[in-house]
A and B are shown apart, each in its own frame.
Chain A
């Protein structure tokens, strides 16, 4: 693992990182397909144009808030409310970017400006569960793969979504969750910490989501679980007077 990090830190092979990113992005691309198709189809039913539909996917690139925008548009909600609820839903990405910032090699601001655009839940999940550090080329490949699938399938969904078999559309709704599980499980098998963190956050989220909008519930559950682990670890350390970090 050390040599791997050194390889990436010296940054000699730039292209391979990009292609590794594209490859890692494949499962996101598959996972986005049904969601983007559904978005396109729903956008058409809402009555907005193809240009607005693809434009929204191109410029916003955030699933949940795009669906919400359609819902609000259908209700005739005003622009300010739509933009504000988008902000509420997507502020959770701030937490994910902070975590990516810790995981990524320090590179130029321009590169960060570019890959920041691609940090979705799924891109974050794939990048952050990868061994070692990540570089901007890897994040470009990963983001581009996810982004292409999102934009292209939004357009296809608008044009042809209703032609897809219903059973397949329904089966595809599990794709992103299956991906999250596939990303989490190897760590859960290896580290008890991962089991504690994910389990605690899941339970906290189930509680919080009944009172708060989903984006805030995820933030609260994530911070809550991470904070709880710190508390448990520090109280255990105090009791046993252990020194040294166990991670």
Chain B
């Protein structure tokens, strides 16, 4: 393939990726009428955030480094700081600070 073809192919790929990413984000917002959703389903939808957060955190957090304990330490710091009721940004920055320091020591 010459450079021109590669260039165009890449844009086609990017636009294809954009479409298949946007459509799932959009579809429920335009196709579902929140007023008409049965109460059981509505309650389940409101429970999704907690479940999704759990799945987004674990086990992904262990995979940020070859050493499992590295992510674990970061998680423990985040839980500890968040438990005190600190602001979200403080939670994020303290974990980053502790893990950056650990990375220097390693």
* Shortest Cβ gap from A212 to chain B (Å): 12
Complex-state Cα separation, A60 to B25, whole angstroms:
11
A22 contacts partner chain B, Cβ-Cβ < 8 Å: no
Q: In the complex the two chains form, is A79's CB within 8 Å of B32's CB?
A: no
Q: Which of B51, B97, B100, B102 contacts A225 (CB 8 A)?
A: B51
**Given A180-B56, A202-B57: A175 and B95 interface contact (C-beta under 8 Å):** yes
Q: Which of B17, B22, B53 contacts A184 (CB 8 A)?
A: B53
Q: In the complex the two chains form, is A83's CB within 8 Å of B13's CB?
A: yes
Report B-chain residues with C-beta under 8 Å of the C-beta of A185.
79, 82-83
Q: In the complex the two chains form, is A170's CB within 8 Å of B51's CB?
A: no
- Taking CB atoms and an 8 Å cut-off, the chain A residues in 202-231 that contact chain B are 202-206, 209, 214, 217-218, 221-223, 225-227, 229-230
On B, residues with C-beta under 8 Å from A are 7, 9-18, 20-22, 24-30, 32, 34-35, 37, 40, 42-61, 64-65, 71, 74-75, 77-79, 81-83, 85-86, 88-89, 91-104
Complex-state Cα separation, A131 to B40, whole angstroms:
21
Report A-chain residues with C-beta under 8 Å of the C-beta of B52.
95-96, 99, 121, 124-125, 201, 218, 222
Q: In the complex the two chains form, is B91's CB within 8 Å of A174's CB?
A: no
Task: Determine the main DSSP class of B at the interface with A.
Answer: helix
Report B-chain residues with C-beta under 8 Å of the C-beta of A189.
83
Q: In the complex the two chains form, is B54's CB within 8 Å of A116's CB?
A: no
**Given A60-B17, A177-B75: A187 and B50 interface contact (C-beta under 8 Å):** yes
Complex-state Cα separation, A26 to B37, whole angstroms:
33
Q: Which of A98, A121, A177, A218 contacts B28 (CB 8 A)?
A: A98
* Shortest Cβ gap from A130 to chain B (Å): 10
Report B-chain residues with C-beta under 8 Å of the C-beta of A65.
17, 21
Task: Determine the main DSSP class of A at the interface with B.
Answer: helix
Q: In the complex the two chains form, is B57's CB within 8 Å of A93's CB?
A: no
Q: Which of A97, A115, A182, A184 contacts B24 (CB 8 A)?
A: A97
Chain A, 163-204, contact with B by CB distance < 8 Å: what is the 0/1 string? 000111011111101111111111111000110011111111
Report A-chain residues with C-beta under 8 Å of the C-beta of B96.
171-172, 174-175, 178
> Which of A101, A178, A209 neighbours the largest number of chain B CB atoms within 10 Å of its CB?
A178
**Given A69-B13, A79-B13: A100 and B51 interface contact (C-beta under 8 Å):** no
Q: Which of A113, A174, A202, A225 contacts B78 (CB 8 A)?
A: A174
* Shortest Cβ gap from B97 to chain A (Å): 7
Q: In the complex the two chains form, is B57's CB within 8 Å of A184's CB?
A: yes
> Which of A100, A181, A206, A223 neighbours the largest number of chain B CB atoms within 10 Å of its CB?
A181
Complex-state Cα separation, A127 to B5, whole angstroms:
41
Report B-chain residues with C-beta under 8 Å of the C-beta of A84.
20
Chain A, 101-136, contact with B by CB distance < 8 Å: what is the 0/1 string? 111101001001101110101001100110000000
Complex-state Cα separation, A184 to B104, whole angstroms:
29
A152 contacts partner chain B, Cβ-Cβ < 8 Å: no
* Shortest Cβ gap from A8 to chain B (Å): 15
Report A-chain residues with C-beta under 8 Å of the C-beta of B51.
197-198, 200-201, 221-223, 225-226
Report B-chain residues with C-beta under 8 Å of the C-beta of A174.
61, 64, 71, 74-75, 78, 95-96, 99
